[in-house]
Amino acid sequence: MVISALTKRCMLSYPEGMAENPHANTPVVKPAANPVRPELEEQPVELGAAVPTVSELLAVVRRQIVPLGAVVAVIVLIAALLTMMMTPTYVASSEVLLRTDATAQLFPLGGGDDNGRIRSVSAELEYVRSDAFQREAGEELSRNSFDSNSSGSGSSGSSVQVAVSAKQLPATDRRGEATTLVFDASAPTAEQAAAAANTYAETYVTARRQLDLEDHERRVDRTEADLNGVTERLEELQEPIAEIDGFIASSRDLETTIALLQERTRVVGQQSTERTRLDSELSRLAGQLRSLQVEGVVLERENSGAAVTVAADAPLGQASPNLIRNLILAGMLGLVVGVMVALWRDRSDTKLREPLELAMTGQALLGMLPASDGRSDAVRSLATSVGFARNATSAQVLQVASSNASEGSEIVAAELAAMLARFGRRVVLVDADLRDGSLSKAINITPTLGLTDMLEAPIDALESTRIDGLSFLGTGTTDRDPAELLASPTLARLFGHLRNHFDVVIVSSPAVLGTAECRLVGREADGFILVAGRQVVRASDVASALQLVASDGQQILGSVFNEPTERPISEIASTQLAQPGAEIRATVLAK
């Protein structure tokens, strides 16, 4: 609505002097154009969006790149310090090859089927993880390598930790399916990790071999006992026959002998089935005993049943903490936190960022001045808008000020005065910032005659400038209180003289908020122009300044959205206003 009204105002007439001034060859530019951010022209303003779009998020990141980078840097630095403070951990692994069928023999839970083999491996893992084995391995580690506080796998407070796992190997040779037990040892040093992994593996192989030998001895004893039992049973079966044979040998009667022979045949017939069974059992047990004797020879070797196939070497690098990984994770976390902080800062930051935000204050937007590229054209557009406003309001004395300092109002006033002079108007630029006087210091024309001098005594000369039709009135040389000087009735007479001799009087005033000088000068002004610095002033300060000016009865012509330039005031003044070595101009003010 504000921009539309301003556009209609711009269609009323051309600025004064443009037709007859050879420099005023620029066509009318609508104030709604945005030289700072052209892509924002005529874009609707969406307020209260809950979730920012990707483009909005990227814009926030660009605006808040410094705090975002600071958050990322702090989190990465903290992660680096914590990582360096952590005790390093090294991991070494050793592997033990375990025959599944041997496992089944060692642990009676196992059998010949798949379920039996799985149960056997589970039993092996249960044995290795038992407190008895852990104590034995820990004692062996203490005796053979270094003093260890390890009390078992995963025990809290120990410097060495050993974990065991199993992996099944396919049947690739005549030994059939096998299982590998993997011992993973973690320790503060690489040597401790390797020593722990190897010690646990060797302790397991030794313990398992001892268990195999004990089990073998039990099976040999059991087989020999069974063999002796079968032999005794055969001897028991032989006793009745031997007794009958004795009777036959001592018999002298043929009939008795025949009867004894028949009895012997009957007894032998009765025992034939049992004897055949016992002979078969005796042969089986004898063969089993021979196999056990061979197996005993095999078990005497250290690699029987289980053997260390992969010995642990000292690892070259630490497993944890991983500095690179931690820094990457910290960077990702910092980026997330940084974006959240950036969004929070952006939402809580009420400083003006876009021209439309200034237009939403309800005042006409006279112009948008970028920091560098296109600023000259933007100042020309501003001067055009000010010319339209002057035609509509008959304002001759224009006060240019900002809500707070450092918004570039003095630069805008100087540029506007220079451009209006180029349009063919007789312009005087007055530096009414008696506290700072930065514009007067920048122009640096000697002698420094100024506003305070004219307020204290009648002086009839003004400073020359490079631009025809532009004069300059600096702050002056007195040290009296600025508010006291500006409250003097002489100020009204001075501005009356200026009105008589110039078409336009541009007054660069102090900030509206915080001092009384701006309001004192405003009593003599016909129109007020507020300069709002991009990313400098808060919307609340703009509203307060406009309300204060309006309460004094001043006519507000509009506002200027200014992106503070990095160029110093002295550079702008020297290129546009100052005329080094210029003499004092002829009298332009009546005494």
At 131-183, the pLDDT tens digits run 888 888 888 888 876 544 443 444 333 578 888 887 776 655 444 566 788 99
In the chain, which residues have pLDDT < 70?
Answer: 1-51, 99-119, 145-158, 169-178, 299, 301-305, 441-449, 456-466, 565-591
Residue pair 72/335 in contact (Cβ under 8 Å)? The answer is yes
DSSP 407-434: S-HHHHHHHHHHHHHHTT--EEEEE--T
Residue pair 399/525 in contact (Cβ under 8 Å)? The answer is yes
Please, what is the end-to-end C-alpha distance for the chain in angstroms?
Answer: 48
> What pLDDT is stored for residue 110 in this prediction?
35
> What pLDDT is stored for residue 303 in this prediction?
55
> What pLDDT is stored for residue 13 in this prediction?
34
At 64-98, the pLDDT tens digits run 888 899 999 999 999 999 988 888 889 999 998 87
Q: 527-533 and 397-402 as β-strands: parallel, antiparallel, unpaired?
A: parallel
Among positive and negative, which fits the CA dihedral 342, 344, 350, 355?
positive
> What pLDDT is stored for residue 256 in this prediction?
85
Comparing CA positions, the residue from 519, 578, 591 lying closest to residue 553 is: 519
Residue pair 196/148 in contact (Cβ under 8 Å)? The answer is yes
Residue pair 291/236 in contact (Cβ under 8 Å)? The answer is no
Place of tokens 């004395």: 397
Residue pair 40/527 in contact (Cβ under 8 Å)? The answer is no
pTM: 0.51
What Cα–Cα distance (Å) separates residue 441 from each residue in 77, 294, 421, 433, 507? 46, 112, 21, 11, 16
> What pLDDT is stored for residue 148 in this prediction?
43
> What pLDDT is stored for residue 176 in this prediction?
53
